[in-house]
A and B are shown apart, each in its own frame.
Chain A
């Protein structure tokens, strides 16, 4: 670790004000806000670090200024680096990184909307999270925002980027969609059937979840985390629990670590089943859709019998897990899993041979590796575009470091590749469940949790079925939760869809959308 810091100091000199080691896997660096761009360039280009997310908090009470945290990952050493900087209320500007780092685009706009700090030099400073009828000068994440009140609606207009020319039309879609999916708005500019431009406008389901978490007890925060994105309930809950456990200095017993793996992989299974089913449905191949949806329901019923809830809610507790899988149940469970695997295998073998399906998915909605890299794509979407990245291997948590598994990577970046990644991941998940059940040691299910350490922050992370999911929790001087930042994989991946649909035809949009399967609620929070 030391050499990295030394090199950083050499390269950046006085740009770095202070260095501290933070918790086990998190290095902290303090810097002046003017040098943020220089530091980011250096970290990314010279050290090969990767920007993960930006979190802002109102710390005016503690140090009379706002604090921004730029979180980077350093895969070579399984470490995270957090660059911290302060922004004064009087001079509320901070330098925008979006020119150099397009991935920072939404992060900075979110901070503008919710915290009222200004990203100086941002190429697109329009509202993002709060829509046009939200009053000016009211910032929910500021501590003086107070308790909920009736907030008036004001007049305002959101201006979409326009494509102009002969024969060019706009197609507005949403927020209420034709299928049973979540709300969001899509604005297509088309010439004939070909898409020239797509602009997405989301955050219709913004529920102020991060604000709700402030001041909550750890148990109640976990309940809220389970409801960030329903189909990824467990992934969010585990990420949140990990951050809280690190703040509460709790040791999760080994048996619970293995059980977490089992349930996390069960969640991946049911998500991937419905994603592949959705692709089959969108090309009107109903055999594939109904077979896979049937298998998914078998999995959900299995969840219910093992854990008491279909979507694996109330499975994680602070310091461990609630349901145990006894020896007798284990045998039955393994048998069921084998049956489901066989069932899935037969169905998938048929799917690959259906021309009406394969014709639609090949070369559709291609995302180039460079685009995925620059925009910060994560999860199966990134892995289908040739980016070999998975938190389970690069920053192992729970019991993943004791288990062997492969990470499928495909190069084409089209709908077919995304489907193939998911199919391969399903096979790996079956194997992981089987291995984790057999490697699981005896022992307690839950460790003790101490009160949260005051004035500290911690990171929790999970490779959810959609990709990297981070929870960043800070406590105040009394050990209460003062800031809860949720970085969901959908927030990272949504901007990619604007590129995936280019040069495709409008009727392929649902297919491309389904192949990326992004959560609106996880994105909007």
Chain B
């Protein structure tokens, strides 16, 4: 007993200050790739090296334009694109706070003059670049195999103001693993440790969807978990929120396009917030949860 007390006192307080103010990761953390528009020439080297097609380029010869699309919703933060850039335009400065309400917000685009791009020695013509499937088009909710089980009002359930009023002070979360690699689970479990201590914000992880206000879903949704996910969603009493946690949960990530992967939570149930990361840092998950509740004013977010 006294040893426990002594240990507790010597360790002291380890909880990090409120997550809102903690915008920086420890030095050395890689985070998401950031492209410096001043240095980028649109050559396409990074597009080839990206394992999840988070970086894509589309040429429109008629307009003499090359469009460079970057989707944080597909990025697995692997860092492969950095070293291949001949102009050192891609850097990793520990960016991780990326949660967004729509996939559109996760999408960045810039354009180049195609004739200028061609002058670069490293230029790669568009036919050598892998094309993006249509997977990225889904916004909010696409109907999956079990959508007939869901009621007609799913979209209507996004009654933000009402939910905000209802969940104003406390939030019960049911975590659902819909086929993740368990990387996201590691970080979600960490939310309850003394360092992040999500309980201090009134966030509780509960054992049953029947007690939950929010589903925190990880993984690309495997074929064999889809029904279980939909059933869990059904079992959650309305009004309810769904947060897709991790890059897999947004568009399927590195597993997208496989025979047994549905490719994103919003292909099975409606999603309110997307949290990119592979896995997202615990702070990023917290920010995503807050964003779902609209607790972060938009101005503060950027």
A interface list, Cβ under 8 A from B: 131, 134, 140, 145, 148-149, 151, 153, 175-176, 178-183, 203-209, 211-212, 216, 219-220, 223-224, 226-231, 233, 274, 287, 290-291, 293-294, 296-297, 300-301, 304-311, 313-314, 322, 343, 346-347, 349-350, 353, 519-521
Contact = CB atoms under 8 A, between A and B. Distances in A.
Contacts of A314: 30, 77-80
B224 A291 contact: no
B29 interface: yes
Contacts of B195: 294, 297
Interface string B216-231: 0001101111001000
A227 B228 contact: no
Interface in B41-86: 49, 51, 76-80
Interface string B150-191: 000000000000000000000000011111111111111110
Interface string B1-21: 001100110010010000000
B223 A151 contact: yes
B225 A204 contact: yes
Contact of B261 (A207, A311, A520, A521): A207
29 contacts: A140-B259, A180-B189, A203-B224, A204-B222, A206-B224, A208-B255, A212-B254, A219-B80, A227-B76, A228-B181, A230-B184, A231-B183, A290-B193, A291-B7, A293-B192, A296-B190, A304-B28, A305-B26, A305-B28, A305-B29, A308-B29, A308-B79, A309-B29, A311-B186, A313-B78, A314-B30, A322-B79, A347-B7, A519-B182
Nearest to B252: A207
Contacts of B223: 134, 151, 206
Contacts of A230: 180-186, 279
Contacts of A349: 3
A521 B180 contact: yes
A143 B258 CA distance: 14
B281 interface: yes
Contacts of A300: 190
A338 to B, nearest CB: 16
A490 B197 CA distance: 30
A231 B79 contact: no
B111 interface: no
Given A204-B225, A305-B26, A145 B177 contact: no
Contacts of A151: 223, 259
Interface string B199-234: 000000101110000000001101111001000100
Contacts of B36: none
B169 to A, nearest CB: 23
Contacts of B180: 182, 205, 230, 521
A310 B181 CA distance: 15
Nearest to A346: B7
Contacts, number: 188
A20 B298 CA distance: 66
Contacts of B258: 148, 207-209, 211-212
Given A204-B225, A219-B51, A294-B193, A310 B281 contact: yes
Q: Which 6 A-B pairs have the closest CB atoms?
A: A230-B183, A178-B207, A308-B30, A293-B193, A230-B182, A305-B28
A42 B6 CA distance: 60
Contacts of B222: 204-207
A29 B205 CA distance: 54
B193 A180 contact: no
B237 interface: no
Contacts of A294: 11, 14, 193-195
A448 to B, nearest CB: 15
A259 to B, nearest CB: 15
B10 to A, nearest CB: 8
A353 B3 CA distance: 10
Contacts of B145: 153
A287 B14 contact: no
B26 A181 contact: no
A463 B187 CA distance: 24
B260 interface: yes
Contacts of B14: 294
B182 A313 contact: no
Contact of B92 (A182, A207, A227, A308): A308
A293 B145 CA distance: 39
B224 A521 contact: no
Contact of B260 (A178, A206, A343): A206
A142 to B, nearest CB: 11
A422 B179 CA distance: 27
Among A205, A219, A307, A314, the most chain B Cβ lie within 10 Å of the Cβ of A205
B190 A521 contact: no
A204 B224 contact: yes
B137 interface: no
A301 B281 CA distance: 10
The listed residue with most A CB atoms (<10 A of its CB), out of B178, B182, B208, is: B182
B259 A305 contact: no
A223 B254 contact: yes
B12 to A, nearest CB: 11
Contact of B76 (A181, A223, A291): A223
Contact of B182 (A223, A353, A520): A520
Contacts of B259: 140, 145, 148-149, 151, 208, 211
Nearest to B50: A220
B184 A208 contact: no
Contacts of B255: 207-209, 212, 227
Given A207-B222, A296-B193, A223 B228 contact: no
A208 B260 contact: yes
Given A223-B80, A313-B278, A175 B189 contact: no
Max chain B Cβ within 10 angstroms of own Cβ: one of A175, A180, A274, A300: A180
Contact of A205 (B27, B28, B78, B177): B177
Nearest to A287: B4
Contacts of A182: 177, 180, 182, 185
